[in-house]
Structure 1
Amino acid sequence: MSLINILKPGGRNGLSSRERRDPIGFTVAALNRLAQSDLIDRVGLRKQTEQAVFTVTRNGFKTATAAGRQFKKVSGNTLAGTRAPAAKASGLFDLTPTDDEQMLVDVVTEFATEVVRPAAAEANETCAAPEGLLKASLEIGLPILGVPESLGGISEERSATAGVLVAEALARGDMGLAVAALAPGSVATALGLWGTVAQQQTYLPAFTGDDVPAAALALTEPSVLFDVLAPATTAERAGDGFVLNGVKSAVVRGAEAELFVVGASLDGKPALFLVESSTEGLEVEGDPSMGVRAASLTRLELNDVKVDADALLGDADGEAYTECVRLARLAWCALAVGTGQAVLDYVTPYVNEREAFGEPISHRQAVAFMVADIAIELQSMRLLTYKAAARAAQGKDFSREVALARKLCADKGMRIGLDGVQLLGGHGFVKEHPVERWYRDLRAIGIMEGAVLV
């Protein structure tokens, strides 16, 4: 039985009743089946990326968005959709993962090590994730991790903690590929958190089925002193709908995305809108970046884009938008922790094996202290990120915690990347070693807004 059949609503017979009740256990079961299957050998990581993809993403392009599928529109029901309940609080300050969560971390880490890491260098050069890797990420259930079980997902309660653990584990393989793999699930999670009944019935079946669409959050804008909470993109009321105008940047896999969640200013308040790629007035342009290149980042131009009234995702007073920003920042903190851990795991054996003047360079205090500082800062980043995730999962206010985590991860994450390059000396500057790529990726933490969320 293939994993994709196991993950389908009608194909869970291979799971125990406990696994069906427990979303983390369900995911672990699926991931374990992946690890035991021959899928890893079939993803074709060595296959050369299509030259056309390489050309348009590296050199830039400007074209209409992907034609996309025709989503079966459900309208009329504006009631709040199904929401996963908040996680239960134990009352203890204990961030130790549960047994199931630890299993999840172990198996996703194995996937990141055996599938993601080997594909990272080529994906960085071509600015595109391998198709086989993306398909494998679908089979392990990433798009439905944050979707309520009653809607075809695997979440019985809010899954910010599980999402953080998955994002961290994937980023240990490569941040860019992690972002590319997590983007569709981020849109599905947003629909689960703020979608109406009609919106969920229209779009979520595509994410819980076999043919999961590429999708992206579009919050960042290419403007000086950009404030994500005050987007320059506008949404004006027009008849029974809205007209959107503006430019979004750092849109993940925008050339192939079939659904966008676009942030825009409506009546002076930020709001989220669902925009299908087939909507007239959309154009996508290649926007290769310094880091996170494997995510195929693009710009999305909206020129008099008309959407219906039911395209508004969540409320119009900015609360859903603000929560989206915070959950996205939490995801980026998790990605920073994962990439920082990759740096630490790489430089530690290097400094112990690299010899100078007849002894390992780790015997020098300047080197040993630098490695120790990486470990210390990394643990503090992880602690704040996990605490913010726990409060988010419990439905508590986590604005303070996520602000502290983002500040620390942005500052110390970039420092960890810099120190990693420094510890390798001249080797840190060449592409033979992945540390230079991780340094470039870590610089995105304080810049990127949206793209992924948990």
Structure 2
Amino acid sequence: MAYGIRALTRLAGLDVVDRLGLREPANRALKRASATSFRTAGRVGRTFAATQKRADPGRLKPETASKSAALFDLTPTDEQQMLQDAAREFAAAEIRPVAEQADHDDKTPDALLASAAELGLATLGVPEELGGAVEERSAVTSVLIAEALSHGDMGIAVAALAPAAVSTALGLWGDADQQATYLPAFVGEDVPVAALAIQEPRPLFDPFALRTTARRTADGFVLNGVKSLVPRAAEAELFVVAAQLEGAGGNGNGTPAFFIVESKTAGISTEADPAMGLRAASTAKLVLEDVKLPAGALLGGAKPEVYREAIALGRIAWSALAAGTSKAVLDYVIPYVNERVAFGEPISHRQAVAFAVSNIAIETEGLRLVTYRAASRADRAASFAREAALARRLTADKGMQIGSQGVQLLGGHGYVKDHPVERWYRDLRAAGIVEGTLLV
């Protein structure tokens, strides 16, 4: 598929396309080609079974040496630009008009999620040899798409991107049997509702000190604990759950590890868990009571480096969402302060207002750049822990600040639901505290 998209992209870039008046048809063909990778709308109770046996798991390759120069190049490839443009158009035309109602209903419309799936989200983390869309790691592509979708609404973006986190985890760390059993469902037309569950319901949550436990048994594991803020948990068919594996790590306290859990497994239940923000994501608690899993449910071999990488990739994803929502705040307040007249002149003529808008622009751009930097290093298989930590810090501090400034600039209008800035403020607070849920 990737080769086909490249060919269509080169065709669309030819001058003869404009001379023949074929620009619009060419663009439509490109969008249709990129859309064939994604479908969502799972059915609870699905049976996952291996469709083919592989000797070794498939893995996405790091970026080629030609792309791994010392220079930090922000120019997207043709494929990335096409996917980002499609996501932007979708966010503006489909997500933004229903965002307020979805926030009110605590649910994203199923039809919208099905349409969002056509953008190709669930296959970006799947190796091409297993039916995915790309040969190389595409964290930057995932960041670009997440940023574009959250410009429409962060809650809806989380609901749409949640299954992609599970397919990415399987593509990065799943063994051959796990990939053969679960990945075919993510590259077909009926993508399962799935979620990555790490967050737990307690203050000052530390993802490296989990209270959800996994106890070894003769034939597998037993999980106990509660996860919170799990998107679409009530309708999900598949989870990747983080739990403290007892007896691992050599320190007596265990080590965090991931487990593949099907929703139909005995001992699993969900409870509504609506939050201040991300309401369109239909977040819920996932309760695990003596959930028995086979030995093959362990994902990534309980390797500490796998879990650390997952946390870092999740933080990059949340930073991308924060960057997109921050840009939405900026794009909304600029025309507002230029059109809002007080004492005979636009309020943008006042220094305090102009400086506040400038600060939003500066901090948004800084957040975007460090997020891109972290994602690009992840794609090259270079160390990105520092960059991911910087992105997380900026998201937690500046994201909340940008949301607050957006509300402040609208005055009394910023406090009421007639304007979307109050929703963006609530979502930006969530982006700085939630762990997991998404991966790039």
SS at 1:285 equivalent: strand
Letter in 2 for 1:406: R
Query: Do the aligned residues in 2 keep the contact of 1:19 with 1:29 (CA within 8 Å)?
Result: no
Matched, 1:69 2:68: no
Matching residue of 1:113 = 92
Single out whichever of 95-104 and 118-127 deviates more from structure 2.
Answer: 95-104
Find the aligned partners of 2:344 and 2:144 in 1 and give their Cα distance: 41
Distance of aligned partners of 1:35 and 1:422 in 2 relative to their CA distance in 1, 3 Å threshold: farther
Matching residue of 1:18 = 7
Distance of aligned partners of 1:157 and 1:29 in 2 relative to their CA distance in 1, 3 Å threshold: farther
Matched, 1:81 2:57: yes
Matched, 1:386 2:372: yes
Find the aligned partners of 2:116 and 2:159 in 1 and give their Cα distance: 10
Structure 2 segments unaligned to the other structure (5+ residues): 11-26, 36-42, 249-253
Query: Do the aligned residues in 2 keep the contact of 1:348 with 1:371 (CA within 8 Å)?
Result: yes
Letter in 1 for 2:60: A
* Shift of residue 194, structure 1, vs aligned partner: 0.4
256, 261, 277: which one aligns with 1:270? 256
Matching residue of 2:40 = none
* Shift of residue 90, structure 1, vs aligned partner: 2.5
Distance of aligned partners of 1:29 and 1:239 in 2 relative to their CA distance in 1, 3 Å threshold: farther
Find the aligned partners of 1:155 and 1:312 in 2 and give their Cα distance: 26
Alignment RMSD, CA only? 2.3
* Shift of residue 20, structure 1, vs aligned partner: 10
Find the aligned partners of 2:255 and 2:52 in 1 and give their Cα distance: 25
Matched, 1:152 2:152: no
How high is the TM-score relative to the length of structure 1? Answer: 0.86
Matching residue of 2:401 = 415
Matched, 1:177 2:177: no
Matching residue of 1:346 = 332
Letter in 2 for 1:168: E
* Shift of residue 92, structure 1, vs aligned partner: 1.1
Distance of aligned partners of 1:197 and 1:111 in 2 relative to their CA distance in 1, 3 Å threshold: same
Distance of aligned partners of 1:138 and 1:403 in 2 relative to their CA distance in 1, 3 Å threshold: same
* Shift of residue 35, structure 1, vs aligned partner: 11
Query: Do the aligned residues in 2 keep the contact of 1:172 with 1:339 (CA within 8 Å)?
Result: yes
Query: Do the aligned residues in 1 keep the contact of 2:166 with 2:195 (CA within 8 Å)?
Result: yes
Matching residue of 2:31 = 32
Distance of aligned partners of 1:323 and 1:243 in 2 relative to their CA distance in 1, 3 Å threshold: same
SS at 1:288 equivalent: coil
Find the aligned partners of 1:16 and 1:253 in 2 and give their Cα distance: 32
Query: Do the aligned residues in 1 keep the contact of 2:231 with 2:284 (CA within 8 Å)?
Result: yes
280, 289, 303: which one aligns with 2:289? 303
Distance of aligned partners of 1:232 and 1:350 in 2 relative to their CA distance in 1, 3 Å threshold: same
Matching residue of 2:104 = 125
Query: Do the aligned residues in 2 keep the contact of 1:75 with 1:310 (CA within 8 Å)?
Result: no
Q: What is the number of residues matched between the two proteins?
A: 408
Query: Do the aligned residues in 1 keep the contact of 2:34 with 2:83 (CA within 8 Å)?
Result: no
Q: Deviations over 1:5-50 (max 9, x none)?
A: xxxx8xx99x4663599xxxxxx977723999xxxxxxxxxxxxxx
Find the aligned partners of 2:29 and 2:83 in 1 and give their Cα distance: 10
Query: Do the aligned residues in 2 keep the contact of 1:243 with 1:305 (CA within 8 Å)?
Result: yes
260, 278, 291: which one aligns with 1:292? 278
* Shift of residue 75, structure 1, vs aligned partner: 10
Query: Do the aligned residues in 2 keep the contact of 1:30 with 1:141 (CA within 8 Å)?
Result: no
SS at 1:299 equivalent: strand
Find the aligned partners of 2:180 and 2:317 in 1 and give their Cα distance: 26
Find the aligned partners of 2:404 and 2:419 in 1 and give their Cα distance: 14
Find the aligned partners of 2:309 and 2:28 in 1 and give their Cα distance: 31
> Matched residues, percent identical?
60
SS at 1:213 equivalent: coil
Distance of aligned partners of 1:316 and 1:241 in 2 relative to their CA distance in 1, 3 Å threshold: same
Find the aligned partners of 1:34 and 1:366 in 2 and give their Cα distance: 48
Find the aligned partners of 1:430 and 1:311 in 2 and give their Cα distance: 47
How high is the TM-score relative to the length of structure 2? Answer: 0.88
196, 208, 220: which one aligns with 1:229? 208
Find the aligned partners of 1:272 and 1:430 in 2 and give their Cα distance: 41
Matching residue of 1:138 = 117
Matched, 1:399 2:385: yes
* Shift of residue 358, structure 1, vs aligned partner: 1.0
Find the aligned partners of 2:34 and 2:128 in 1 and give their Cα distance: 24
Find the aligned partners of 1:121 and 1:16 in 2 and give their Cα distance: 35
* Shift of residue 392, structure 1, vs aligned partner: 0.5
SS at 1:105 equivalent: helix
Matched, 1:209 2:198: no
Find the aligned partners of 1:30 and 1:162 in 2 and give their Cα distance: 20
* Shift of residue 447, structure 1, vs aligned partner: 1.2
Matched, 1:361 2:361: no
Structure 1 segments unaligned to the other structure (5+ residues): 1-8, 22-27, 37-65
Letter in 1 for 2:139: A
Query: Do the aligned residues in 2 keep the contact of 1:314 with 1:320 (CA within 8 Å)?
Result: yes
Letter in 1 for 2:107: A
Find the aligned partners of 1:326 and 1:181 in 2 and give their Cα distance: 20
Find the aligned partners of 1:429 and 1:399 in 2 and give their Cα distance: 37
SS at 2:377 equivalent: helix
Matched, 1:238 2:217: yes
SS at 2:199 equivalent: coil
